[in-house]
């Protein structure tokens, strides 16, 4: 079973997909592009460190997607449309900065991602 390539342009990345892709690339002959991808994914794993939850599934959220992610979290928690009052009046820039305090900033090939853990 072939897994999907992982790029630093994705809004979110699941750590289990990273693990599966590394295993796939390590177990096969690789071309130059796949060898480079393997190096990037190993680097990402090293950047994250020894997060216990890594093998069970952590979500990496791209910086450019974090506001939409925060809005989705608010909608999920409260079961509402975020455009309804009072959520439509929230300063989402401020809310995003507050939420980011619970996340660790990491670099994946020049793109900033946030990971909780």
Alpha-carbon distance of 60 to 45, in angstroms, equals 11
Tokens of 110: 């020049």
Q: Is the pLDDT of residue 2 over 70?
A: no
pTM assigned to the model: 0.84
pLDDT over 90 percentage in the chain: 58
Decide if 70 contacts 47 (C-beta within 8 A): no
- pLDDT bin (cut points 50, 70, 90) of residue 23 is very high
Domain definitions of the chain by residue range:
12-115
Give the pLDDT score at 87: 74
């Amino acid at each position: 079973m072939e897994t999907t390539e992982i790029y630093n342009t994705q809004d979110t990345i699941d750590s289990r997909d990273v693990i599966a892709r590394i295993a796939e690339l390590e177990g096969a002959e690789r071309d130059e592009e796949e060898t480079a991808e393997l190096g990037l994914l190993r680097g990402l794993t090293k950047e994250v460190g020894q997060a216990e939850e890594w093998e069970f599934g952590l979500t990496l959220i791209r910086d450019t997607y974090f506001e939409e992610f925060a809005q989705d979290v608010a909608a999920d928690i409260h079961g509402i449309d975020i455009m309804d009052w009072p959520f439509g009046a929230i300063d989402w820039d401020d809310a995003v900065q507050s939420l980011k305090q619970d996340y660790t900033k990491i670099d994946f090939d020049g793109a900033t991602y946030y990971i909780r853990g």
